[in-house]
Structure 1
């Protein structure tokens, strides 16, 4: 994987973005459960960013093994 000629494919980039988005959403919601204060602006932005990252990742999956 770490060869000089390694190229990240759009499918791999999509999987990375989906994973990052889901982790962001889970961590943000977990912080809300632990904190139990009102849902703040940064938490809303974190959820929005995580959902957007997941959606972009889902659109990259069907593009296959073309270089990103």
Structure 2
């Protein structure tokens, strides 16, 4: 990955987006669960962040089967 002729492939980009999106969803939901003093549940900003991170994970999931084509 640190070579001079490294090219980011669609599979690599897909895995990065999938893992990043899933970790972001887990982080957003865990912040809501651990913040006990606040009432009201998931707010509009958290809903948008969850939707964007889920969309990123979904895009990453669709890129993985495309294989070794350059991104």
What TM-score do the two structures reach when normalised by structure 1? 0.93
CA RMSD of aligned residues (A): 0.9
Q: Which residue of 2 aligns with 1:11?
A: 11
1:23-68 per-residue CA deviation (whole Å, 9 max, x = no partner) reads: 1100000011012432111110111011100100011011000110
| More moved, 24-33 vs 34-43 | 34-43
| Structure 2 counterparts to residues 1-68 of structure 1, below 5 A | 1-36=1-36, 37-38=39-40, 39-68=42-71
Distance in 2 (alpha carbons) for counterparts of 1:13 and 1:28? 22
Alignment coverage as a number of residue pairs = 68
Give me the whole-angstrom Cα distance separating, in 1, the residues matched to 2:20 and 2:43.
Answer: 21
Compare CA radii of gyration and give the structure with the larger one.
2
Q: List alignment gaps of at least 5 residues for structure 1.
A: none
Structure 2 alignment gaps of length 5 or more:
none
Q: Structure 1 stretch 32-41 or stretch 54-63: which is displaced more?
A: 32-41
